[in-house]
Amino acid sequence: MLKKILLKNFKCFEEQEISLGSLSLLTGLNGMGKSSVLQSLLLLRQNFDRNTLDKRLSLNGDLAQCGNSFDVLYQFFKTDEIGIRLEFSDQPPLEWVWDGRSKGDSLNVKSGSPLAEAGRNYALFNRQFHYLNAERLGPRPYFETSSHAVLNENQIGVRGEFAANYLVEFQEDDIKIANLGHPKATGLTLYEQVNAWLSEIRPGTRLNASRSQEMGLVALNYQFVAGREAGNRFRPTNVGFGLSYVLPILVAVLSSEPGSLLLLENPEAHLHPRGQAQIGRFLALAAAHGIQIIVESHSDHILNGIRVAVKESELSPDQANLLFFTGDVIEGKFTHYIETPRIDRNGKLDYRPEGFFDEWDRQLTQLI
């Protein structure tokens, strides 16, 4: 499992250590460095895929678009070296240093850990890695297919564009982690489990999927069940964004095996508060059973779902890391740093930094 990320002169961080757990929640004001942490991992992955990690770090690709070297080098740098170090619980550390003065949209390597095929032993660099962007694919009448992404790479797309394809392809396969099985599901197949958890997030929802071999498309529709009665089938375009945005999350988690690594941005997008809380608990349950999850979120419902999971012993307190990204003017310059409140066994926080999910109290005070 990935335990620490150490960044040097990378974007808004001069020197920063990020400690991770089975489930790490990254939160804080916009522009405080949450996305930079995810981008550090995504840059490594996309350059590993391109076989360029030992030569240069390309800053723009399918997973991350960071601009040029000027955009990546810390603005108050004292040395022009940019570094990323990864530390693991059960594997040797990995470390790279690049020349921050490099020209253009790539950084020249000064030193780095040789990976080659050994990199496939790390979840970040193999088929057990998933990344879902905040800008996921919205409702569509039909969804494209990709045999290469789904079958060869075990990927559902950074926008979840192949989630429907993945679901149809593996719908009859049992999920890899039986303990993630929903107790009300009729079986452990991916199809039944996606539907069971979907109904947990939006009660009474039933998803149907079919594939057109000739057109290379997958069609989805949703039904809403009340008691024993199932209503009409509705296209995704007629049921709002929430179901389309959450489907890739369910597919990615339920198709993962122990040891997988999932990077997830804004799982709360377009979901009502109950659905957000259920997603928080679902991610906690997945983390408790061997899937490492790093999630960026602005939702207090996601946080509270995780807290409830801890209180109900679905996730141990030491498996959950809360990382609050903030900053202040220190010695005449604005400095970014991370605070780390902890969750105890009763789901309570040991302290709340200023700005840490306190807006409800602020607004309530104005109303009283």
Q: How do strand 2-10 and strand 320-330 relate by DSSP bridges? A: unpaired
Report, as an integer, the average pLDDT of 9-17: 96
pLDDT band of residue 116 (cuts 50, 70, 90) is: low
For 1-125+260-368, CATH number? 3.40.50.300
pLDDT band of residue 72 (cuts 50, 70, 90) is: very high
Q: Is the pLDDT of residue 270 over 80?
A: yes
pLDDT band of residue 115 (cuts 50, 70, 90) is: confident
pLDDT band of residue 365 (cuts 50, 70, 90) is: confident
pLDDT in the model for residue 211? 87
Report the predicted TM-score, pTM, of the whole model to 2 decimal places. Answer: 0.94
215, two tokens: 């057109």
Closest CA to 48 of 63, 69, 68, 65: 63
pLDDT band of residue 340 (cuts 50, 70, 90) is: very high
Residues in a beta bridge with 292: 261
- Locate CATH 3.40.50.300 in the chain: 1-125+260-368
> pLDDT tens digits, residue range 33-53?
999 999 999 999 999 999 999
pLDDT in the model for residue 294? 98
pLDDT in the model for residue 165? 95
> pLDDT tens digits, residue range 196-254?
999 999 999 999 998 887 778 999 999 998 777 777 889 999 998 999 999 999 999 99
pLDDT band of residue 67 (cuts 50, 70, 90) is: very high
pLDDT in the model for residue 60? 96
> pLDDT tens digits, residue range 74-113?
999 999 999 999 999 989 999 999 999 999 999 999 998 8
